[in-house]
Amino acid sequence: MKGFKTAAVSFAALLLSLTLTGCVGKEPNEIAYIVALGIDMSEGNNYEITIQYANPTEISGGEEGGKAGSAIIENISVQAPNLYAAIGLANKIVSKTFYLSHARIIVVSREVAEKGLRDITETFIRSDDLRPDIYLAVSPDGANEYLSAVKPAMEVNPAKYYQLVYDKNSFMGIPAGSAKDFFFGIETKNFDSFLPIAGVVGNGEGDEETGEDKSSGGEETGGLGESSSSENEGGGDDMSDKNTKQSEAPENERGFEYKMKDYVGGQAAIELKNKSESMGSAIFEGDKMVGTIGSIEGQMFKLLMGDYKYSYITVFNEQTPEEPVTLKMIQGKKPRYDIDIENKKINVDMFLEGDVSSLPADYNIESDIEAFQKSSEKYIGEDCERFMSDFIKTYDSDTFRLKERCKRKFLTNKSYDEFKESVNFKEYEVSVNVNFKIRRTGLVMREEE
Amino acid sequence: MLQRKEMTALLINVISLKMLLTFPRIFIINSANAAWIQALYNTLVVFLIFFATTKLYRGNKNVIQLAEMAGGKALKILVGMTVFAVLLINFSSVVRIFPESVKSVLLQNFKIEAIVVTFVIAIAIGAYIGLAPVAKVNYLFLPVAGAVLLAFLLLLIPYYRFSNIMPVFGKGYGAIFGKGFNTVSLFSDILFLNILLPHCENAGEARKSGVKALVIGAGISVIILLGYCLVYPYPASKEFIIPVYQLARIIHLSSFFSRFEALFQFVWSILVLLYSSVYVYTMCYVWQITFNLKFYRPLIFPVVLISSVIAMVPNSMLDLIGTEETKSLIVYPIAFLLPIIFGAVSRRYYGEGRRKDESDERI
């Protein structure tokens, strides 16, 4: 018996030492890590799928450090009916095996988004490789175009680049775009989603290469607003670092984000080398894209959803009508929704705080702080109310999650489902009240004159 | 002989482990976002059953031994085989579900047969070592698993959405309190306490272990279901095969902490191995006392073989999960009724009262 035990223990030790010291399956240097996927329409029922993968030999640069820009990523495009078929095909083209667990974003073209993303969400939700928090974004310029334009100038890790860009933007005017939330929306039918717009900056050189279709994203900019567009003469052919699409973005003349341009992805001037950017939001009804909103309305949407966190905003000031006051606005508390089903009323109470960041030099805000707070409350409230009301009347998209907010009024799913089927929020009256407080005035506090 | 704390830890493992596999899905399908209320209701029911059983039960003989006392060898064999069948039905699901889950999430390129063989070898070794060492390791490991579960629930806080558990009664009162009665099978492994009664110091200690294990096991089940319902809205929540794994995948704290499932898979694997070792040991023990065998170890190989063969009968994971609910419907009435019936029988032999037999029957 003792001999058997010794043999068993020896066998176990040998088994462990042989099996636990190596990688199961592939060695890391045999794997190509996908960081982004792009999906465009193609001929027939196929998609053109762009696989963007990290180039590890350029990322780890030894003592000199890794490279940046286009050197750290490679793109490969194949035509296939879905993501995994494309990866299977691409595996035959490159020496390494593609691996999806580091993929950070799936970019779809506008055509694909308008056709519907149900099949794509079905793929990622079944996949163990793709993470549930992978970002989804819509590119009006085409997914391949966007991924080809991505040249991270300040990052050596391309997956990190997408994470930083889309996490940072989640603080401001674009939605978080989590694939998991998008899936929840279309599966439960409790709400609809917004996804970020991933655009390509149009400079003279780029426009020549890609034709004139690239401006399609800008056509619907500020679709809900009444902003007036101002002419921008700056985008000349002789200035290759200028963005010609910038002139298409309308300038906002309303109180909230006064004098700011209402951009969607591809319209703002950005880094000289990296022509990709993310701004504005694509509106979805179920799994289908039905429109876009710009960065200003995107900020209002985040404010109304309580996802704003903080950012800098400009507010119209009656004392200095030519120049706005810039505030660092913080949303300390989620807005409170009161939906009166019987009287068909939606009441939203928002709670905001702000620090004064910048204002005209000859204006003494300290002497006028109460009035400024009141006027800011009025402008922010009016603009958010107008946006929400127009949005609900324009689209059948419940991106404000109004149905979900009514859930607590019902005891069982059956009664809630009946309500969901019958409710028409277009008939509801929207009212937004803002509670806004200036907390700090920077490092300066001027005395009253 | 097992100490009370070891028996308690062992029972917590056997009760709660199902919640780490596919069992939460049965609750969700039945009651939707009110699955956690159903688990609370099941807890109440099982406590009533447990207290009824302990009121009736006398002595520290298990149902098989009492069957022999009441009806001779024939009844003993009938009861012994019934208990064995109940344990086998329960266990064969785990023998298949766990390796299938490992294949889906960890070893996608491995053959399922290879994973099953490795798994059963590991549990056979555990059963060979014996109940006491496995119970001791389980007792040491359970706090680690508890800490991981706690960290897991805390890390999920940013993902909780209160609206996901609304409307509060989900599919309705009928679904929760009517059809939902069947998921009391979650606690069917409390039968272990009865089978392993001779391994307890006395009936009183066993009773205390049972109460504590039911409270903690039920608490874990309710918390897991509540956490899952708070993160995943219905009907999306009913689509995932292994809900707890799905919760682990979702955790992502900025850029510095993600892929929590790696830690979960480690804890999960150890708990399943301990659970399975105890199961194999108990099945061998049932056979041993049913047929008055001197040793249980020669039974390990055939028991493991039978379990593996039965586990491989369903053609796919789809077939396997399809039979899960039916299996639990067969198992739980037997698991709860046998101790009640033989509890009544035990009064004939140990009728002088619980307090007295607790002091007299010390081993």
The tokens for B131 are: 């109940």
Using the predicted structure, report yes or no on whether residue A214 has a pLDDT greater than 60: no
CA B288, CA B292: separation in Å to the nearest integer? 6
Contact A412 B236 (CB under 8 A): no
B135 and B151 in contact (C-beta within 8 Å)? no
Please tell me which residue of chain A has the smallest CA distance to B235.
A188
First to last CA, chain B: 9
A8, A128, A190 ranked by CB distance to B105: nearest: A128
**Measured between alpha carbons, how far is residue A131 from residues A135, A229, B50, B258 in Å?**
9, 41, 43, 10
Contact B170 A412 (CB under 8 A): yes
CA A1, CA B165: separation in Å to the nearest integer? 57
B290 and B73 in contact (C-beta within 8 Å)? no
User: Mean pLDDT, chain A, as a whole number?
Assistant: 78
CA B212, CA A32: separation in Å to the nearest integer? 51
A260 and A185 in contact (C-beta within 8 Å)? no
Name the more confident of B48 and B348: B48
Helix (H) or strand (E) holding A92: helix A83-93
Neighbouring C-beta atoms of residue B78, cutoff 10 Å: 14
The pLDDT of residue B283? 93
Contact A416 B167 (CB under 8 A): yes
Mean predicted confidence (pLDDT) in A412-441: 89
Residues of A in contact with B104 (CB under 8 A): 128
CA A234, CA A159: separation in Å to the nearest integer? 34
Interface test with B, best of A407, A408, A409, A410 (most B CBs within 10 A): A407
Mean predicted confidence (pLDDT) in B195-224: 89
Helix (H) or strand (E) holding B268: helix B261-290
First to last CA, chain A: 100
Helix (H) or strand (E) holding B25: helix B23-31
CA B191, CA B194: separation in Å to the nearest integer? 5
Q: Is B303 helix (H, G, I), strand (E, B) or coil?
A: helix
Is A99 within 8 Å of chain B by CB?
no
Is A5 within 8 Å of chain B by CB?
no
The pLDDT of residue A237? 37
CA B112, CA B317: separation in Å to the nearest integer? 11
Mean predicted confidence (pLDDT) in A314-324: 78
Alpha helices in B106-130 (DSSP H): 112-129
Q: Which domains does chain A have, with CATH numbers?
A: 27-295 (no CATH), 309-449 (3.30.300.210)
Mean predicted confidence (pLDDT) in B274-278: 93
The pLDDT of residue A222? 44
Please tell me which residue of chain A has the smallest CA distance to B122.
A12
CA B359, CA B1: separation in Å to the nearest integer? 17
Q: Which of residues 180-209 of A touch B (CB under 8 A)?
A: 180, 183-184, 187-188, 190
Give the confidence band of B255 by pLDDT, cuts at 50, 70, 90: low
The pLDDT of residue B22? 83
Please give, rounded to a whole number of angstroms, the shortest distance from the CA of A299 to a CA of chain B.
21
**Measured between alpha carbons, how far is residue A44 from residues A77, A79, A118 in Å?**
16, 10, 18
Please give, rounded to a whole number of angstroms, the shortest distance from the CA of B269 to a CA of chain A.
15
Residues of B in contact with A128 (CB under 8 A): 104-105, 108
Give the confidence band of A419 by pLDDT, cuts at 50, 70, 90: very high
Please give, rounded to a whole number of angstroms, the shortest distance from the CA of A434 to a CA of chain B.
24
The pLDDT of residue A231? 34
CA quadruple B271, B276, B282, B284: dihedral, nearest 10: -150
- Long-range (24+ apart) CB contacts under 8 A made by B70-76 are B70/B342, B70/B345, B70/B348, B76/B290
Closest to A313 measured CA to CA, from A349, A444, A303, A195: A303
Numbered residues of chain B with Cβ closer than 8 Å to any chain A Cβ: 32-33, 104-105, 107-110, 125, 163, 166-173, 232-236, 239, 246, 249-250, 252, 254-255, 258
Q: Which of residues 147-186 of A touch B (CB under 8 A)?
A: 160, 163-164, 167, 180, 183-184
The count of residues in chain A is: 449
Model pLDDT for residues B18-42, shown as the tens digit of each residue = 888 888 998 999 999 999 999 999 9
Q: In sequence order, what are the beta bridge partners of A430? A: A346
Per DSSP bridges, beta strands A345-358 and A325-340 are antiparallel
Residues of B in contact with A405 (CB under 8 A): 163
Domain count, chain B: 1
Give the confidence band of A1 by pLDDT, cuts at 50, 70, 90: low
Evaluated on CA atoms B57, B62, B67, B70, the torsion sign reads negative
The tokens for A363 are: 């204006």
The pLDDT of residue A211? 37
Is A97 within 8 Å of chain B by CB?
no
The pLDDT of residue A247? 61
- For the ranges A33-42, A187-196, A233-242, B98-107, the lowest mean pLDDT is seen at A233-242
A265 and A196 in contact (C-beta within 8 Å)? yes
Give the confidence band of A212 by pLDDT, cuts at 50, 70, 90: very low
Mean predicted confidence (pLDDT) in A394-423: 92
What percent of chain A has a predicted confidence (pLDDT) above 90?
Answer: 23
pLDDT winner (highest mean) among A22-36, A356-370, B199-213: B199-213
Is A13 within 8 Å of chain B by CB?
no
> How many inter-chain contacts (A to B, CB under 8 Å) are there?
69
Mean predicted confidence (pLDDT) in A322-336: 84
A204 and A240 in contact (C-beta within 8 Å)? yes
In degrees and rounded to multiples of 5, residue B235 shows phi and psi of -90, 5
- For the ranges A168-172, A281-285, A294-298, B296-300, the lowest mean pLDDT is seen at A168-172
Model pLDDT for residues A124-182, shown as the tens digit of each residue = 888 888 888 888 999 988 999 888 888 776 667 777 788 777 876 555 667 777 888 99
CATH number at residue B32: 1.20.1740.10
Task: Classify burial at A358, counting beta carbons within 10 Å of its beta carbon; exposed 0-12, middle 13-18, buried 19 or more.
Answer: middle
The pLDDT of residue B351? 65
Please give, rounded to a whole number of angstroms, the shortest distance from the CA of A167 to a CA of chain B.
8
Longest dimension (CA), chain A: 100
Mean predicted confidence (pLDDT) in B274-294: 92
The pLDDT of residue A267? 66
B64 and B78 in contact (C-beta within 8 Å)? no
Q: In sequence order, what are the beta bridge partners of A195? A: A282
Model pLDDT for residues B89-148, shown as the tens digit of each residue = 888 888 888 888 888 777 777 888 888 888 888 899 999 999 999 999 999 999 999 999
Neighbouring C-beta atoms of residue A11, cutoff 10 Å: 10
Contact B166 A188 (CB under 8 A): no
CA A379, CA A386: separation in Å to the nearest integer? 10
CA A267, CA A164: separation in Å to the nearest integer? 20
Q: Which domain holds residue B99?
A: 4-360
CA B335, CA B187: separation in Å to the nearest integer? 9
Using the predicted structure, report yes or no on whether residue A353 has a pLDDT greater than 50: yes
Mean predicted confidence (pLDDT) in B283-305: 92
CA B147, CA A100: separation in Å to the nearest integer? 31
Model pLDDT for residues A71-127, shown as the tens digit of each residue = 678 889 988 888 888 888 888 888 888 888 888 899 999 999 999 998 888 888 888
User: Mean pLDDT, chain B, as a whole number?
Assistant: 87
The pLDDT of residue B302? 93
CA quadruple A82, A84, A85, A90: dihedral, nearest 10: 120
The pLDDT of residue B272? 92
Please tell me which residue of chain B has the smallest CA distance to A160.
B255
- For the ranges A30-44, A317-331, B68-82, the lowest mean pLDDT is seen at A317-331
Contact B166 A408 (CB under 8 A): yes
Residues of B in contact with A160 (CB under 8 A): 255
Supply the DSSP symbol for B2: B
Contact A413 B172 (CB under 8 A): yes
Tracing tokens 């009301």 back to the chain, one arrives at A389
Distance of CA B145 to the CA centre of its chain: 16
A8, A24, A407 ranked by CB distance to B107: nearest: A24
Using the predicted structure, report yes or no on whether residue A411 has a pLDDT greater than 80: yes
